[in-house]
Chain A
């Protein structure tokens, strides 16, 4: 684009400014986790790693982490199966109501979190009479994770077209054999990326979780939230927060390597 030099410079400066706005608060949390002061004191009083070892020993944080991983793994598996099926159906077939189906898939994330949360909580408790627990959280999370898998899978399906599958069918392979030997291998990296995003989405979710978890289940976000307003827990919460920031580099790095860059962008929730 033929932008003038000055415009380019201004845009560059604004970009740097916005990125600064994005990263400054995150850096603050990481720095604060090494701060000797118990509060958010700025500038920091001194350097200590004692909060990190205190957090490592924190029983509550550990078991919450385990719960979160369990929930995220289970809902990712469900989302992978359902998302792939929906993508295959929408890509291969042209049928009445196709638009409605694709709208239905984004609906759980397009609708405000409190709505999905209260709708599912109401269905579980008032309508079906199920006790809220780990499984209800998994059902809720899987519902809004389907879309990330679906987006990745359908982008890949569109790109690869149907020629190889047709060839496989022509050579006598049945629908299942073709899926196992042709479609699945071609989809693999897209599914890995979608599954990774689903995992991260579930791992981080708190709003729908607070509605569907009941009293017994504590995921990591719920643990952080319930300890946020307790001053004596502040340093440990800070460390957990800092650790999560540092860890968030991991899924994005992996997703970027697994899928083509276009899909990586398109699938970001």
Chain B
């Protein structure tokens, strides 16, 4: 047995790759394909059972119904806002960690950034529900200024999602800056560039793949989220809510399947663009 394995590396490869590929390639990809097939079926409105007749009705509804267009646009805008906020917040801290902090502080800061990543997602969304509550700290701080809390809604959703995904942006940026050789920055300043110019023409171009890598997370996680919105979003609807509500309360699996192809499509476009920029190596 060992002998055969030794002489046939292809067999070794097949043995090693077989089980994970069966799981991911066959079962998981199969499930995604099945999801797409289901989206081409319909539900009998009287019995509620799925009818396996091929048609494009679900996709026609998606394209013509105003609600879903609005939800898609809103979700995309939220994803963009969250990504931009995270990139802006992550850049100074990543730069500080990579280029200013001493070795010792670097370690401490990495842990400080990583720790909340492992605090429960739900708990963090819950924490912001407390922050934004009518009797919470934001209301308490805003009161002397004659303002109130913005309450649960779109703004709270963006803040909460940006908060939740921030570490996913900090870590790739930090890794990217860490790899950036200091000699490059010195060369730039030796050649007469000021800090701002070096930042714009040396640091940012090199850092771009890292930003894209981080944005894959912030984007995908925002597109796929429906829990945080339910907790702090008031009645705000995102794509995730539409999918879940159609799946559970609407009991319409085919239409829910059709709806879920929207985030898949967006992410596929995003991932292929990211792959071209070489950002996937940074994950």
Contact = CB atoms under 8 A, between A and B. Distances in A.
Given A85-B16, A112-B240, A118-B260, A18 B118 contact: no
A256 interface: yes
B9 A93 contact: yes
A263 to B, nearest CB: 12
Size category of the B interface is 35 or more
Contacts of A139: 27
A26 B116 contact: yes
A104 B25 contact: yes
Interface string B152-176: 0000000000010011100100110
B163 to A, nearest CB: 7
Contact of B263 (A19, A101, A114, A151): A114
Nearest to B184: A1
B64 interface: no
Contacts, number: 296
A7 B195 contact: yes
Nearest to A37: B135
Interface in B181-224: 182, 185-186, 189, 195, 216, 220-221, 223-224
Contacts of B29: 104
A42 B135 contact: yes
A74 B40 CA distance: 35
A232 interface: no
B157 to A, nearest CB: 15
Interface residues on A, range: 35 or more
A72 interface: no
B225 A207 contact: yes
A207 B118 contact: no
A15 interface: yes
A107 B203 CA distance: 29
Contact of A29 (B123, B224, B275): B123
A40 B232 CA distance: 14
B100 A8 contact: yes
A202 interface: no
B96 A11 contact: yes
B76 interface: no
A175 B12 CA distance: 9
A56 B193 CA distance: 61
19 contacts: A15-B96, A25-B127, A26-B116, A81-B19, A92-B12, A102-B280, A110-B216, A113-B225, A122-B35, A122-B38, A123-B31, A143-B24, A143-B28, A146-B20, A211-B244, A224-B120, A237-B126, A241-B123, A244-B123
Given A82-B24, A206-B122, 13 more contacts: A18-B166, A22-B163, A29-B126, A41-B135, A42-B137, A95-B13, A105-B24, A111-B267, A115-B224, A115-B243, A115-B260, A126-B34, A266-B175
Interface of A: 1-4, 7-8, 10-12, 14-15, 18-19, 21-26, 28-29, 32, 39-43, 81-83, 85-86, 88-89, 92-93, 95, 101-116, 118-123, 125-127, 139, 142-143, 146, 151, 169, 174-177, 200, 204-207, 210-211, 221, 224-225, 228, 237, 241, 244-245, 248-249, 251-253, 256, 261, 264-266, 268-269
Interface of B: 2-3, 5-6, 9, 12-13, 16-17, 19-21, 23-25, 27-32, 34-35, 38, 50, 89-90, 92-93, 95-97, 99-100, 107, 109-124, 126-131, 133, 135-137, 139-140, 163, 166-168, 171, 174-175, 182, 185-186, 189, 195, 216, 220-221, 223-227, 231, 239-240, 243-244, 247, 253, 256-257, 260, 263-264, 267, 271, 275, 280, 283
